[in-house]
């Protein structure tokens, strides 16, 4: 029985190369959940096969900047002359429908969301099992030069120091372990008294207003 019908906003983040995308995939492959992936908004043109509202919401630069003015992004950034952002109103609608909205974003974006939402989202930091594992992953990624790998490594080393700002730290030792732990976090968060007490009181006909003292 569920005492909490609103979905949770789950921010999955972690350093470059930690395997956020793989963990997120494994999480979505698990049975019996109501997870949805947050679709970003962008000003770049759709590529062949991309559908508006599926890969991205495609908007004009004017529209995007208007939304920035109206404070309608949980986070946004500009890369190579194009904006990318998480539309707050769309996320809010999904949460109200009981969907668990998963945001898989970089550390800087996660910190923007944290600033905006404080305790209204669950911040999970995906950590590498060791520095050398992270470096190996960054190297194995592609055919980039050693300079690019090292630059990514420097960035990752700055990012791993920000784990303390998150609610949970989950080590990506195996993808299955990490996904399992994240699912446990989601289930536990839904049982928290702050999220369940209203429905609980209704269910049992408790009318007094109790205040935590």
Residues in touch with its own copies (CB under 8 A): 1, 3, 124-125, 127-131, 160-171, 173, 177, 180-181, 183-185, 187-189, 191-193, 196-197, 200, 203-206, 208, 210-212
Q: Could you count the other beta carbons within 10 Å of the beta carbon of residue 121? A: 21
How distant, in Å, are the alpha carbons of 88, 148, 201 from that of 63?
A: 15, 34, 44
- Min dist CB 152 to its own copies, Å, is 16
- Min dist CB 26 to its own copies, Å, is 16
Judged by beta carbon, residue 63 or residue 175, the one nearer its own copies is 175
Judged by beta carbon, residue 39 or residue 138, the one nearer its own copies is 138
Judged by beta carbon, residue 83 or residue 123, the one nearer its own copies is 123
Judged by beta carbon, residue 85 or residue 128, the one nearer its own copies is 128
Q: Could you count the other beta carbons within 10 Å of the beta carbon of residue 179? A: 21
Q: Could you count the other beta carbons within 10 Å of the beta carbon of residue 127? A: 19
- Min dist CB 123 to its own copies, Å, is 9
In what helix (H) or strand (E) does residue 82 lie, and over which residues does it extend? strand 82-87
- Min dist CB 74 to its own copies, Å, is 20
CA nearest 105: which of 137, 75, 69? 75
In what helix (H) or strand (E) does residue 77 lie, and over which residues does it extend? strand 73-79
- Min dist CB 134 to its own copies, Å, is 9
Judged by beta carbon, residue 54 or residue 161, the one nearer its own copies is 161
> Token digits for 29?
């492959």
- Residue 98 in contact with residue 5, Cβ under 8 Å? yes
């Amino acid at each position: 029985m569920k005492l909490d019908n609103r979905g949770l906003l789950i921010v999955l983040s972690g350093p470059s190369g930690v395997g956020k995308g793989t963990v997120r995939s494994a999480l979505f492959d698990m049975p019996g959940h109501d997870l949805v992936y947050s679709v970003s908004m962008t000003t770049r043109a759709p590529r062949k096969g991309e559908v508006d509202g599926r890969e991205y919401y495609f908007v004009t630069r004017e529209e995007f900047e208007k939304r920035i003015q109206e404070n309608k992004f949980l986070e946004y950034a500009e890369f190579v002359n194009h904006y990318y952002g998480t539309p707050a109103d769309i996320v809010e609608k999904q949460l109200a429908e009981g969907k668990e909205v998963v945001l898989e974003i970089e550390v800087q974006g996660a910190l923007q969301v944290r600033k905006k939402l404080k305790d209204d989202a669950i911040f999970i930091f995906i950590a590498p099992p060791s520095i050398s594992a992270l470096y190996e992953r960054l190297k194995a990624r592609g055919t980039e030069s050693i300079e690019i790998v090292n630059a990514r490594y420097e960035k990752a080393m700055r990012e791993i120091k920000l784990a303390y700002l998150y609610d949970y730290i989950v080590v990506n030792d195996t993808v299955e372990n990490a996904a399992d732990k994240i699912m446990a976090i989601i289930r536990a968060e839904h049982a928290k008294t702050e999220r369940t007490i209203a429905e609980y009181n209704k269910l049992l006909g408790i009318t007094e207003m109790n205040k935590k003292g």
